[in-house]
Structure 1
Amino acid sequence: MCEFETPLFIIYSYSSVIILSLIIAFSILLKNPKHSLNRSAFYFISILALWTMGDLVQWLTRNVQISEFFLRLSNLVDFFFLFFLYFAYALIGKDLNWKKKLIFALPIFITVFLVVGNYGMGNVEPLYCDYDSGWVIYYSLFIDLVYSVWASAILIKEYLRPLAFYKTKLQIKVLVFTIISFILLNIAYETVDIFRVMDKLNIEISPYYVLVNLFFLVLMIFNIIEYDLFEFSSVPRRWFAFSVLSVIFLGMFFLSLTPLFYFILLIFYIMIIWMFWGR
């Protein structure tokens, strides 16, 4: 059994992101369940929620086997980037058939094989449940980057099309920034974590990774409210969405673990204020 304490900050912040993800995902799906754009968005945002749930379980469990199981499952986050690619095609009006979707998913079949066979998955240290991601993380990050760049290229091509709608162009600008910044933050996090495991960096960044997922959700909310992504007939007023995010950040701020994180949260919140009110 592992011996560690789970900070209240972890429970609050991870739970907030999970609930927010599920609300956004189901709101998008229920708006138009038959549209491939809505379904793809529902899938990748739901995967984000499940990914966060898996991380939270690893923070809560004291059982090494359970922790290792969810560590292995976390590699399936590659599906997030695959469904974002499907989403990009749907946004520009190209519905992929199942044959193309399966072909595009071939690299992830390798990930599934590695997860099921427990190849290159790393391990969990039995005393404190600290983990080593294993070499499979390099493969996952590579295909995630490929999917992200691929989706961005599709969106940018549509953006440059002379007859593209102005509103679509505004949506694309935010989406490209969202997915590229998301994958780069993931790569940066894993790079720092690799050096931490190698004892070359004395820094614990795991509690703060949830901010990366929250950052993605904030940008999606902004795109929905500001640029009418998914064409909701009635979306929550800007002040309501801002209030919900403010409550989340206020709780995270008071439960924060270090002065550095206070500063990061403050910068993040100032960015949200600017996005919603300063433009």
Structure 2
Amino acid sequence: MIIVSARKNFNNPDVLSSSGHIFKEVDLDSDATIVDISSEQNFLNRLNDKKVLFLIHGYNNEQDEVNDAYAVIEKNVNLHMQGEYDLVIGYSWPGGDRGLEWWQSKSRANAVARRLRFLLEKMSGVTSSLDLMSHSLGARVTLKALKQSNLSSLIRHYYCTAAAVDNEVLEENEEFSDSLSKVEKLFVLHSCKDGVLSVIYRMAEWDNALGLFGPEDRAYILNKAKNVYVANCKKVVDSHGGYKRANSVYQYMSSSINGNIQRFKTL
């Protein structure tokens, strides 16, 4: 898999790279570098006219843990969504490696978003289609990058799993309401059985996360946010990281590409 890293020295979980993004093709089984991709332009050349799924991980992950998670997702995408994507690409950002550095990681999520914004704009310009899949605090990285972009319909589909952002952020005049115009469709996948969001996020933010019960105002989403779709995953996801192993999640993603899909659905 090609990994795009915003981490210092590619692997540092706590420090942003001072030299922009680093691009490598990595063997996810061994964590070994197959090819150093020497420049952003060489990376973009590999994406030319390709259907791409871009993965953005969340909080508290060493690089080998990021690679392990991306290997599971890539395997399941290839198994359940054959032909939907030519490339699955992973993004790595310094989301920390300890459970008690939420505010530092949140600050770095905000900082890396500007860098990601410009990369997404360039990727969108060369790919046949560009979809995103984020997890946990990766939602903040993604939504902030989209908010900052001046391009509309930058992303085709955005699959937002276990989002560690507040449950009202997509509503009018809220933090990421402007992000919605940058995607054709945004899919919020949530589960009330997510122990991390129900305990740790609530303790840190004194609010409910979008990834726990979904958007706070269902009526607003139905009537005003017409490109937002919500999937209740409580029957198939019983942990914070459970989305990547849930077959129903990939079947839902495939359905979203290939046919009509309900605005609110329980998987």
Higher helix share: 1
Q: What TM-score do you get using the length of structure 1 for normalisation? A: 0.28
Higher strand share: 2
Q: What TM-score do you get using the length of structure 2 for normalisation? A: 0.29
Structure with bigger gyration radius = 1
